[in-house]
Amino acid sequence: MLQHNILCLILLIVTLFVATQSSPLAPALYIFGDSLVDNGNNNMLLTLAKADYDPYSINFPGQVSRGRFTDGRTVADFIAEYIGLSYPAPYASLPRYNSTMGYNYASAACGILPESGAHFGRCFPMDEQIEMFRSTIESQLTPSFKDPGQLSHHLSKSVFVVCVGSNDYLQNYFQLYPSSQLYDPVQFAQLLTDKLSRQIKSLYELGARKVLVMEIGPLGCIPTVARHPRRLLKLGGHKNEKCDEDASNSASAFNKQLPFMIQKLTSILPDSLFTIGSVYQISHDAIMHPAKYGFSDSSNPCCTTLLNGMFLCVRYQAACPDSSKHIFWDGYHPTENAFSKLVTQWIEDSSTCFPIGFKQFIEA
């Protein structure tokens, strides 16, 4: 543990040094969400949803295993690199860092609803992540910015990324939870977006102004769903070669609600700036046409997983020879290269973020 903490500290110092050599496009980056962006907040928790062991992070700079649920960097890391900031430290990690350049509060298995993912063990749902951010303001940012106006300006120019919602389907609606009996897909999507809207409003009240909300990807195409032995509850069961389209369509109802959600938030929250990061269409196209994006495998996990490709990586088992050719790292999560392709699409094609292009959003 001591050696691990020393390595983490060295990596943090190096990335801080690199980041300060040029002027970043935003003063700080704050990450909220689930395992797609978690970088170690679950490490100290009593949960099955952990990635603090090999082969996770084997391609991460410095090869330090820091709890990322992929072979290297996540979408949050690539956003940090584009902005010119160091990778935000996991807020719940030990040792605790004091940073004015942002934190990562994301927690694997958790979601918008507090009950989502509870069967895996302890995690930090969105409401709790927001309370962590509140604590950051009170204990770290307020003492660092003596002038309240400076703190308000800092937060208003900072970038907030929200990547959440997948587990409300994968670890709630698609499981033996009451939600699948109480709501049809459209009703459940409305429940989620109503709750998420209140959570984003809470971030705004704490000072957030620039918020990027990521879509949910095609959940029916991930190995853990596509290979599900008893199929998903309440779904018709239509499959093509690689995906359970009914599962993807059920979850995509959430994506269809997002534009209405941010339109309403924009109308009631002065000086706010919201955009939606396209995930579903880009990911689905890559899975259906992997060669177009430089992949050769869009169905199988790269690492050796439990339950025939349906779960997390088996501890200390060797991964495939070239993870860059795979879209999926384990039964749930993309590879570093897949994350990289996603952010590259956002940067190069302004239409992939709506209503404001990614570059315009970051630089605003």
Active site residues: 35, 330, 333
Q: What is the total residue count of the chain?
A: 364
Residue 98 has a CB neighbour count (10 Å cut-off) of 11
User: Which residue, 165, 166, 160, 171, is CA-closest to 200?
Assistant: 160
| Residue 95, preceding peptide bond in cis (omega within 30° of 0) | yes
Query: Which residues have a Cβ under 8 Å from the Cβ of 136 and sit 6 or more positions away?
Result: 91, 103
One-letter amino acid of 347: I
User: Which residue, 253, 192, 252, is CA-closest to 221?
Assistant: 252
Phi, psi of 10 (to 5 degrees): -60, -45
Contact 155, 207 (CB under 8 A): yes
Q: At what angle do helices 75-83 and 336-348 cross, to 10 degrees?
A: 50
Query: What span, in angstroms and rounded, lies between the C-alpha atoms of 321 and 41?
Result: 28
Query: What span, in angstroms and rounded, lies between the C-alpha atoms of 187 and 199?
Result: 19
Q: What angle (nearest 5°) sits at the alpha carbon of residue 254, between those of residues 250 and 256?
A: 105
Query: What span, in angstroms and rounded, lies between the C-alpha atoms of 27 and 340?
Result: 22
Phi, psi of 346 (to 5 degrees): -60, -45
The SS3 call for residue 90 is strand
Contact 120, 23 (CB under 8 A): no
User: Which residue, 283, 257, 273, is CA-closest to 342?
Assistant: 283
User: Which residue, 298, 284, 291, 275, is CA-closest to 346?
Assistant: 275
Query: What span, in angstroms and rounded, lies between the C-alpha atoms of 123 and 287?
Result: 30
- Structure tokens belonging to residue 338: 């897949």
